[in-house]
Structure 1
Amino acid sequence: MSATVRSSLPPRRVVRARELAVIIPAHNEADAIAETLDALSRQTAVPRRVIVVADNCTDATGYVAAAHGADVMVTRDNTDRKAGALNQALAALGGDAPPFVLVVDADTRLDPQFIEVAMAALTADAALGAVSGVFVGERPLSVLQQFQANEYVRYGTQIRATGRVSVVTGTASMFRTAALRDVAAARGDLLPGTRGDVYDRGAITEDSELTLALKTCGWRMVAPDECVCTTELMPTWGDLHRQRVRWYKGMLDNLREYGVSRVTLRYIGQQAMILVGILTIAALLLLTALSIAAGTFALSGFWLAVGGVFILERVITVWPGGPRARLLAAAVLPEIAYDIALQAAFVHAVALALLRRDTDWNHVTAHETPLFVPSS
């Protein structure tokens, strides 16, 4: 008597090109693009059309992408970084653009149900302009990367607890094409930028700027639990500092461009709270040092209890990250040092914003190989 063998894989369907286009902007991502494309092929809703936008590449990004079944588009004379590359790709879709567009970073892997869940959310609610991914870090290889992984887990916990999406993440988000067209039509008038552009060429953090643009145009956004995407973690303190300075300064620049409005008030408040946090930590460290120097430092039951609650909160909010995440959170002091490093990056970003100086684009360099040339 033969036994029936059931597959453990989830049911799969192919998402037709007229339903969804996947766009992957890539600058020298030959080392990462294969895993990103493989993750797309494992989706419960497999996209038929995947476009890798090879932007000023000097490595084998295009070759690797083509070998994995993607269409490769090479940008032309793009000097506007990721925003310019995405604008060219979206313009190439033209009037034949499908109702949904998924933008994925070249070093990001999607969980298997991402596309299916995101499309279902957008289909069910006509007021939704975007479905943001909930990003988590790749497997940490150092304490520094574990700090970042813990930070990302906490961000996911915050989204689940509040239901609010602060930024439509650039790592992986799906958009309603009609919402992107609204943004393009409002550029140069209601929104900063050049009319016809979806992404503002002048923004160094295009994801946070597009978030403000979508909200200003009246579109809502969500981040379902199933829409998880795994992204890279910075390998060195220098890489981390440069990344965060760009993130912070990008938001500060965006808020200066948009001014005070119903949409920006909450974001302005967030920046103010970061400053309050910096001042609080500085005052705490100063007062502790002075009390130790004066010989008056003493532990009290009340503050020990407060500290215990603080430790408990730190551990609970990273619980999904596993034992290493919880152990690092329970140690407290290392994460406080990490927070101070992030605050230093914020102060650096504020200084650059006040001086109207630009910051470098942080890219973890891949190996240099010949430029991809598409076949005729």
Structure 2
Amino acid sequence: MKLSNDLRRKPLAQAVEEPRSPVRVIAIIPAHNEEIGIAQTIDSLRRQTQAPDQILVAADNCTDGTVDIAKAMGVEVLETWDNTAKKAGALNQALAMVLPGLQPHDVVLMMDADSRLNRDFVAAGMAYFEHWPLRGGISGSYLAADHPSRVALLQKIEYTQGLRTVHRRAGRIHVLSGAATIFTVEALRKVAEMRGGSVIPGVKGLVYDESSLTEDYELTVALKRVGYDPRCAADCIVDTDVMPTWRDWRIQRLRWQRGTLETLFTYGFVEHTRKAWAVQAWTYFRTIIPVLMLMIWSYALIFEEVAFHPFWLLIIPVFMLDQLVATWDAGWRARIYATLIIPLWIYEAYQSIAYWKALHLALRGGEKEWLT
């Protein structure tokens, strides 16, 4: 199999001398009331060129037809018990069920119930581990599914531009995507063994931190803390649903950002979080730049003589071209939105509000809410 350039850049001399092929692949799908998309998710696993040896749906407090659909499709279903930790709790119960029977070089694929994999996802992920087992986790390259709403289109633009940046950085990522990520059993066990100590917070023996609002980000940091170098693979493609309304988008982004901040507060300013702290500092600084510029322009208009220089108009087409190129793979509707620029500015303004609200929630502390 041909490996993408993103992960092929690391010399083979740095890999193990005798790479071993994973013996088994176990796919785990956490699902809470996912009757609409669960069949397509399972079907995408069954259509793999290298199909998983076992598919397990971790049905968490489902009140719809998720369990019946999964069983009708012939996959194994675990109905969680006494779980109040949402997705992290469901995943921990599923892992407690499968990990004891696996070998260290086996792999576990965790994917959301609203995602679909490309046909070579599993085979490509296993090929990476064969050469670089110390990755620990290989994240899929997540693409936003098509949806007619404007907010969905803006998310598609965001995902496309973000993925382009990740691929240009040789697959280095902020978070192993919950949409679909493959882990080695050895890496998951190491995290579980070291939880509750000075390196990784949480409850010893659990893979996922059940107190985290963003369990996928927290696990990414944990893997880095114990010596792994997780990446995103350009040829492991996963198509995932996005939020169809502004209300759903706001709730999701509050959870994502608050969970990220709380994870950083928990770990502190350590070797494997310093870049993340810098990213957050820059993120919040960026949100106040428009306000600062508005203040400067207002002052100039009121107290100084303002001269217009046509030269600065040349910047606009350059910026438009950059946005067009970065958004090209998202389709013609996205290209129009990106070229207009203003829709993206509005979207970033909404993002900024969500960031500051999440910071307030994270600093306030108290009982944590699960914001889906």
Matches within 5 A, 1:86-97: 86-97=91-102
The equivalent position to 1:125 in structure 2, one of 127, 132, 139, is: 132
**Corresponding residue number in structure 2 for 1:24:** 29
Distance in 1, Cα, partners of 2:151 & 2:332: 16
**Corresponding residue number in structure 1 for 2:294:** 285
Paired AA for residue 264 in structure 1: T
**Corresponding residue number in structure 2 for 1:39:** 44
Q: Name the SS for the 2:235 alignment partner.
A: coil
Matches within 5 A, 1:125-144: 125-144=132-151
TM-score in terms of structure 1 length: 0.88
Distance in 2, Cα, partners of 1:147 & 1:131: 26
**Is structure 2 residue 308 aligned with structure 1 residue 275?**
no
Distance in 2, Cα, partners of 1:319 & 1:81: 36
Distance in 1, Cα, partners of 2:69 & 2:308: 60
**Corresponding residue number in structure 1 for 2:252:** 243
Moved more, 146-155 or 61-70: 61-70
**Corresponding residue number in structure 1 for 2:173:** 165
**Corresponding residue number in structure 2 for 1:84:** 89
Give ranges in structure 1 of 5+ residues lacking alignment: 1-15, 364-376
**Corresponding residue number in structure 1 for 2:231:** 222
CA contact (8 A) 1:188 1:195 kept: yes
Distance in 1, Cα, partners of 2:142 & 2:307: 42
Distance in 2, Cα, partners of 1:359 & 1:315: 40
Paired AA for residue 85 in structure 1: A
Q: How many residues align?
A: 348
Distance in 1, Cα, partners of 2:223 & 2:283: 24
For each residue in 1:248-273, what CA deviation from the matched residue of structure 2 results, as whole angstroms up to 9, or x when unmatched? 11010000110111100000001000
Q: Name the SS for the 1:223 alignment partner.
A: strand
**Corresponding residue number in structure 1 for 2:274:** 265
CA contact (8 A) 1:21 1:102 kept: yes
Distance in 2, Cα, partners of 1:224 & 1:93: 25
CA contact (8 A) 2:142 2:159 kept: yes
Paired AA for residue 136 in structure 1: L
**Is structure 2 residue 321 aligned with structure 1 residue 318?**
no
Once the two structures are TM-superposed, the CA of residue 306 in structure 1 deviates from its matched residue by: 2.8
**Corresponding residue number in structure 2 for 1:252:** 261
* Structure-2 change in CA distance of 1:296 and 1:310 (3 Å): farther
TM-score in terms of structure 2 length: 0.89
CA contact (8 A) 2:138 2:176 kept: yes
Q: Name the SS for the 2:26 alignment partner.
A: strand
CA contact (8 A) 1:17 1:47 kept: no
**Is structure 2 residue 155 aligned with structure 1 residue 148?**
yes
**Corresponding residue number in structure 1 for 2:68:** 63
Give RMSD over aligned pairs: 1.9
**Corresponding residue number in structure 1 for 2:118:** 111
For each residue in 1:198-249, what CA deviation from the matched residue of structure 2 results, as whole angstroms up to 9, or x when unmatched? 0001111001000000000010112111111111111111111111111011
* Structure-2 change in CA distance of 1:200 and 1:100 (3 Å): same
For each residue in 1:72-121, what CA deviation from the matched residue of structure 2 results, as whole angstroms up to 9, or x when unmatched? 01111001111111011000114212510000101101111111100110
**Corresponding residue number in structure 2 for 1:327:** 336
